[in-house]
Amino acid sequence: MRDPAPTTEAAALLAPRRLAVQLAGFAVGAALLVWIIRKAIGEGEWDRVLHAAPLLVAGLIACTLTSAATNGTIFFVTVRPLKRIGFWDLQRLNVVATLLNYAPIRLGAVTRVLYHLRVDGLGLLQIGAWFSLVGGIMILGVASCGLATIVHPEVDWMWALLVAGQLLLGGGAIRILGSIPLVARHGRGIDAMTIDRWSLWGAIALRTIDLAAFAGRMALAAAILEIHLEPRHTVLLALVALTASLIPFGRVGFREFCVAVAAQRLGMLAGDVEANMNQLALIESAGEVMVFVPLGLLGLGWLRKRWRAGQGGEQSGGTAPCR
């Protein structure tokens, strides 16, 4: 049985009820963002931001570029056993999809699905299996870092060993799950993606780099504001930022709110904690906006061209047979 056509899938993904939920979520997120900005402006000290060292700002942008590149590469290495898709195509699609997630209707995931249906000729179930693997590896990375930080609060060699051990165990579990006959028979290629060592372990290693980039951006945002963050708090706030950015209602507001609240709950500072933490949430988020907005806008022309060209399977290689 063939998967639904892109137009049919678009109608399902953009059903009125889904749109209403997305718009309501965006309104709540926008209200949260306005609230945080007002608190930060009214109570925060902005001279540190205005006179921030250029190297710190450059580092903030570099961490975001690293995160963007690793995410695009994760999609590239995981899909290779299923189908050969151009490396730079996936990098461009990644930044465009991230940009579209800032819209009132979170269009990033919808754009990814429709693009791979139309341009790459993948089936809907194949895309679902692929995205499930990418999502599972993200959950594994976040859970490993979070649990290691709870068990061993000091970010040192023992912490690193705890993280590495969990990643190895989790990666092994994913391989075993992918090799189960029932999964191999109905998983639409997920077995090929999980059994392939370069695909699975490469994605896990890249996700680790992505998490480090998130922590680096949080640490640099704190340095700009001259806030002392303990390494464990930096890691935890980075995990909050990454997890909150996946909230399906929208990218605007929820992430900043979650980071600010989490920072305040950690009780890292005395005095005007709330103002500093609101600033921290905004600066960390701005480090991502400064990269994804301009790159995403540049990528829109490429997306339009590729979409109008239609299916490009003959340029990217054949699709692995469905099982």
- Give pLDDT, residue 278: 85
- What is the per-residue pLDDT across 236-295, written as a single tens digit (0 to 9) for each? 999 999 998 888 777 788 898 999 888 887 765 434 455 578 888 999 999 999 999 999
Length of the chain: 323
The residue to which tokens 């993948």 are assigned: 122
- What is the per-residue pLDDT across 129-175, written as a single tens digit (0 to 9) for each? 899 999 999 999 999 999 999 999 999 999 999 999 999 999 999 98
- Give pLDDT, residue 109: 85
pLDDT at residue 90 tops 80: yes
Top-confidence residue, 186 or 23 = 23
- Give pLDDT, residue 321: 40
- Give pLDDT, residue 253: 84
- Give pLDDT, residue 138: 95
- Give pLDDT, residue 317: 39
- Give pLDDT, residue 195: 86
Query: In whole angstroms, what is the distance from residue 155 CA to residue 145 CA?
Result: 10
- Give pLDDT, residue 13: 57
For the chain, give the mean pLDDT: 85
- Give pLDDT, residue 319: 42
**Residue 72: pLDDT band by 50, 70, 90 thresholds?**
very high
Tell me the mean pLDDT in the region 302-312.
Answer: 83
Q: Cα–Cα distances in Å, from 20 out to 27, 46, 239?
A: 11, 37, 29
- pTM for the structure as a whole: 0.85
Among the ranges given (34-43, 213-222, 300-309), the one the predictor scored with the smallest mean pLDDT: 34-43
Tell me the mean pLDDT in the region 220-245.
Answer: 90
Task: Give the other-Cβ count within 10 Å of 40's Cβ.
Answer: 24
Top-confidence residue, 65 or 189 = 65
Q: Using a pLDDT cut of 90, give the percent of the chain over it.
A: 49
- Give Dmax over CA atoms of the chain in angstroms: 63
Amino acid at 228: H
- Give pLDDT, residue 97: 94
Q: What is the DSSP letter of 44?
A: -
Least Cα distance to 14 among 104, 80, 90, 85 occurs for 104
- Give pLDDT, residue 272: 43
Query: In whole angstroms, what is the distance from residue 123 CA to residue 113 CA?
Result: 9
Least Cα distance to 125 among 276, 279, 275, 323 occurs for 323
The residue to which tokens 């063939």 are assigned: 2
- Give pLDDT, residue 186: 67
Tell me the mean pLDDT in the region 305-318.
Answer: 63
- Give pLDDT, residue 322: 40
- Give every CB contact of residue 272 below 8 A, 6+ residues apart in sequence: 43, 44
Is residue 216 within 8 Å of 157, Cβ to Cβ?
no
Is residue 236 within 8 Å of 266, Cβ to Cβ?
yes
**Residue 50: pLDDT band by 50, 70, 90 thresholds?**
confident
pLDDT at residue 193 tops 90: no
pLDDT at residue 314 tops 70: no
- Give pLDDT, residue 77: 95
Task: Give the other-Cβ count within 10 Å of 307's Cβ.
Answer: 14
- Give pLDDT, residue 264: 82
**Residue 11: pLDDT band by 50, 70, 90 thresholds?**
low
